[in-house]
Amino acid sequence: QASYRRFCFDLYLGHNRKVTSVADPLISPLYADEKLVRRFPPILMHVGKNELALQDVEEMATVLSSVGNTVETQVYPSLHLHRWGSGSHFWAQDSLLRIDEFLYRLW
């Protein structure tokens, strides 16, 4: 999974025509300085337990929490695309309900 993740990063960054690096805060807010991170709005992140983005979501939640930002994460047992896939109606409803509650509480 780690090599596939690196492959995806490489493609996202332009492959042979790379214009930046994964450490660019415009590519990954994980690398933004603390002053900027403090200005982020409340954030809600949903991810599936087997998704490539799981590690990024966990790391971003840690960064946001460390500066006192409001952050909530939900890890689902299926892929995040469950909202659009068949057979996962419960997880889709749960995800949408959590989004609704988050927005109602914080916005």
Residue 1's pLDDT is what?
A: 66
**Around Cβ 64, how many Cβ atoms within 10 Å?**
22
The pLDDT of residue 15 is 77
Summarised one tens digit per residue, pLDDT across range 11-64 is 888 877 777 887 888 888 999 999 999 999 999 999 988 888 899 999 999 999
Distance set, CA 68 to CA 9, 38, 41, 63, 64 (Å) = 29, 7, 11, 9, 7
Q: Is the pLDDT of residue 78 over 80?
A: no
Cβ burial, residue 45 (10 Å; 0-12/13-18/19+): middle
Reported as type and span, the H/E element at residue 48 is strand 43-48
